[in-house]
Amino acid sequence: MIQSVTVVRALVRRALNEILRVPGAAIPGVLAPTIFMLGLSSVFGKASSLPGFTADDFRTFIVPVGLLQGAGFTGAATGVNLARDIEQGWFDRLLLCPAPRVTLLSGVVASAALRALLPGIFLLAVAFSLGVAVPTLVALVIVTVLVMGLACAMACFSVTLALKFRTQQAAPLMQIAGFIGVLFTASYAPKPLLADWLRAVATVNPVTYILDGVRQGFVGGVTWADTWPALLSTVGLIGVLGTLAARGLRRYGV
Amino acid sequence: MTDRGFSLRVVVALARRAMLGSLRRPQFLAPLVLFPSMFLAVNTGGLGRTTGLPGFPKVDGFLDFQLAGAMTQSLLLGGVATGIATALEIEGGFFDRLVASPISRSAIVLGRLAATGATAVLQVTYFLVLGFLFGATVKGGIPGVLVVYLIGTVAAVGFGAIGQALALRAQSAASVQGIFPLVLVVLFVSSAFFPRDLLSSPSDVIATYNPLSYIAEGMRTPIIEGVGATSVLEGLAAAVVVVVAAGGVALLALRGRLREA
């Protein structure tokens, strides 16, 4: 058990070191969600004047979307980095170490959870400086848990793809899942204002409930009714996508 | 055979190789249209009611308005894909073998860009068909469609040159991949997704100087209004400016890489 924790910690540290060693590769992922938030609010800001919009300010409404985008980007980056390690042979050497493959997967995924905090903190700092109201401490804790959880889920997904395609060229496929998951929700407008088909998709999309859980602290107040579906959706996504990643890792090189 | 004829054959051969490489692995080509299709769907489904906002141009539907934005985004992603492919050739050593061969250096750059242009024709076709399937119309008729193809293809070559310049400088596919989110930045500070008059500050100001605004509007006007000389010329001029500027930077980057080698 202790050895597994050591391996996980080493893999997390290696992933975090990459941020310092290759900042050029990490900076876009950190900036992107903020750019997304600023860009969307700048382009579609007038949408908040539509009758039935639940927030006075489009920027406040869109900040949670940016936070989840950051988690999605980080998860995808984890898969891209793994694909690079596979291409360069480092991953094959890693598999030779006497650690269970699930432990290796845990290390890779845990690094995504921690790295997801970077774009989130940067986004919130910019949003607060631009006048977005600071949520309560409880709301911020919920936001942190959900953002880290979604990053884990997306990392599992992109790891599955990396193990299957074994090339960095699969990167767009890794990123698209995060985009689809986060945007096909009530991301741009409250559910009643969505087109019928998008409302139907948003209703069955688990990320909608995660978004609601994150958004509650920014628009309105924290309620258990918005929190438990968000937590359940996060755990469910990690469970399903983690199983796929573990299966891919088990079959890798066999 | 003349030098020019030989160079042309090299360009065609490299373009063919690049196209075949893309077509053999369609899973990597698909995101070029999937991402923008997704944005198109989400924008249309989420913000369709904004066509009723005061100041929004008269359109048959938000899909008609958004089509040009989706095409612009797709073509920009094509530029990123061009950069990634070039970077992978550098990482894999193929690029160095090309440089060592007795062919023109500019043909190496142009071959990949020709493939980017050909891919752009497919991308524009995809979005036009998608639009037609979901009820969009091109008010400019066949001349309007041709204008969309013309501006789209020229702009795509320019975006491809930007990707190549980045790849030649960074020499790493991961670094080129990292600019993917920045594609959104340049789109957000343009009128690709929303009318310029309805943008908030500072996008409204930046959009005026962003060539993407003119490229997107150049493709949009034939769709929502009809072919108009001003928008077509502005769109084409903006696309040509991108080609010339980015092509120059790509050639300079190639020269720099050769000096380092």
pLDDT digit of tens for each residue in chain B (261 aa)? 567 777 788 889 888 988 888 777 776 678 789 889 988 999 999 998 898 888 888 888 899 999 999 999 999 999 988 998 888 888 888 888 888 888 888 888 888 899 999 999 999 999 999 999 999 999 999 999 999 999 999 999 999 999 999 888 888 887 787 777 677 788 888 999 999 989 988 888 999 999 999 999 999 999 999 888 788 899 999 999 999 999 899 888 888 877 776
Residue A22 pLDDT > 80, yes or no?
Answer: no
With beta carbons less than 8 A apart as the criterion, state whether A49 and A131 touch.
Answer: no
Q: B29, B42, B73, B76: best mutation site toward chain A, by most A Cβ within 10 Å?
A: B42
| CA–CA gap between residue A240 and residue A247 (Å, rounded) | 11
Tell me the one-letter amino acid at B27: Q
- Residue A2 CB neighbour total at 10 angstroms: 6
Whether the CB-CB separation of A173 and A161 falls below 8 Å is answered with yes
How far apart are the C-alpha atoms of B61 and B64, rounded to whole Å? 6
Tell me which DSSP letter residue B92 carries: H
Who among A28, A81, A169 is closest to B182 (CB)? A28
Name the band, by pLDDT with cuts 50, 70 and 90, for residue A25.
Answer: low
User: What helix, strand, coil percent values describe chain B, rounded to 5?
Assistant: 80, 0, 20
Q: Which helix (H) or strand (E) holds B35?
A: helix B31-47
Name every residue whose Cβ is closer than 8 Å to that of residue A71 and which is 6 or more positions away in sequence.
A116, A120, A147, A148, A150, A151, A154, A178
Q: Has the ipTM of the complex gone over 0.95?
A: no
Contact of A15 with chain B, judged by CB distance below 8 Å, is answered with no
Q: State the residue for tokens 């290390």.
A: A107
The residue type of B168 is L
Task: Tell me how far CA of residue B128 lies from CA of A75, B149, B223, in angstroms.
Answer: 33, 10, 10
In this prediction, residue B179 carries a pLDDT of: 73
Of B136, B126, B124, B127, which is closest to residue B62 (Cα–Cα)?
Answer: B136
Report residue B37 as tokens. Answer: 């299709």
User: Does A20 score more than 90 pLDDT?
Assistant: no
What is residue B96's predicted lDDT score, i.e. its pLDDT? 82
Q: Contact B184/A32, CB-based, under 8 Å?
A: yes
In the stretch 149-178 of chain B, residues with CB closer than 8 A to chain A read: 170, 172-175, 177-178
Chain A residues with beta carbon closer than 8 angstroms to that of B84: 168-169, 171
Mean pLDDT taken over chain A: 89
- Token output for B246: 């980015």
Residues of B in contact with A175 (CB under 8 A): 31, 35, 180
Instruction: Provide the terminal-to-terminal Cα distance of chain B, rounded to the nearest Å.
Output: 30
How close A157 gets to chain B, by Cα (Å)?
16
Contact with chain B for residue A53, Cβ under 8 A:
no
pTM as predicted: 0.80
Q: How far is A7 from chain B (nearest CA, A)?
A: 25
Contact B174 A168 (CB under 8 A): yes
CB A72 within 8 A of CB A178: yes
Can you point out the beta strands (E) in B69-199? none
Does residue A59 have a pLDDT over 80?
yes
Instruction: Give the pLDDT of residue A176.
Output: 81
Name the residue among B27, B32, B46 with its Cβ closest to that of A198.
B46
φ, ψ for residue A109, nearest 5 deg? -70, -40
Calculate ∠ Cα A200-A206-A209, nearest 5°.
Answer: 90
Q: Which helix (H) or strand (E) holds A22?
A: none
How far apart are alpha carbons A186 and A84 in whole angstroms?
Answer: 34
- The pLDDT tens digits for A148-200 are 999 999 999 999 999 999 888 788 788 888 888 999 999 999 999 999 999 99
pLDDT > 70: what percent of chain A?
98
Nearest by CB to residue A39, choosing from B45, B53, B185, is B185
> With the C-alpha atoms ordered B57, B60, B62, B64, is the resulting torsion angle positive or negative?
negative
Left (φ > 0), alpha (ψ -120 to 50) or beta: where does B93 sit?
left
**From CA B155, how far away is CA B261, in angstroms rounded?**
31
Is A197–B45 a contact, with Cβ atoms under 8 angstroms apart?
yes
Which amino acid, B76?
Answer: L
Query: DSSP code of B89?
Result: H
* Residue A246 burial (10 A CB sphere; 0-12, 13-18, 19+): middle
Q: Which residue blocks in B171-210 are alpha helix, DSSP H?
A: 173-177, 180-188, 203-209
Nearest CA to B65 out of B53, B75, B77, B76 is that of B53
**Averaged pLDDT for residues A247-253:** 86
Give the pLDDT of residue B35: 83
Q: What is the pLDDT of residue B104?
A: 81
Is a pLDDT exceeding 90 seen at residue A244?
A: yes
